Amino acid sequence: MLVKIKALLLVGVGYMLSPLSWWNDLFFNLPIAYLFGYLVSWISPDLFIPFTIIGYWISNILGILMMQIGATDMFFDKKQKNVQKDLLIGLGSSTLYTLLILGLLYFHILELPDFLNQI
C-alpha cells in the first residue's frame, strides 16, 4: 500500500512539474528555473537567462521522469521494471519534446516572447 501511495505522489508532483501542466508553470517550474538561474548568476551575471532556461528544461524533464517512475511503480511488478530502460525512455521522450518545441520555434509556428528576442 505504501508503494502505491509513493507512486501516486510521484505521479502528482511529476505532473505539476511536467510540460503537461502548462498552467502550473507560474507556481512550480518558473520559480525553480528562476532560482537556478539566480544561483548560477553569482558566477557570472550573463549566465542568468541561459541557466534560467536550462533550469526550466530540467524541471520539465524531472517531472516527466517522476511521472514515469510513479506510473511504473503503480502498474508493474518490481520484476517487470528495468530502471535503465525506463530512464532512457524518459530522457528520450523529453529530448523529443524539446526538439519538437525548438522546431516549432525555428519554423515560426511558435514565437518567442519579446524579452527573449533581445538576447
Query: What is residue 14's predicted lDDT score, i.e. its pLDDT?
Result: 92
> What's the pLDDT at 78?
67
Give 43-91 pLDDT, tens digit per residue: 999 999 999 989 988 998 889 889 888 988 888 776 666 778 877 887 8
The count of domains in the chain is: 1
Q: What is the 3-state secondary structure (H, E, C) of the chain?
A: CHHHHHHHHHHHHHHHHCCCCHHHCCCCHHHHHHHHHHHHHCCCHHHHHHHHHHHHHHHHHHHHHHHHHHHHHHHCCHHHCCHHHHHHHHHHHHHHHHHHHHHHHHCCCCCCCHHHHCC
Q: Which residue has the higher pLDDT, 68 or 114?
A: 68
The pLDDT value recorded for residue 116 is 65
Q: Is 108 left (phi over 0), alpha (psi -120 to 50) or beta?
A: left
pLDDT over 60 (residue 119): no
Domain that holds residue 35: 2-117
Which tens digit of pLDDT belongs to each residue from 91-110? Answer: 887 788 778 888 888 898 98
Higher pLDDT, 80 or 20: 20
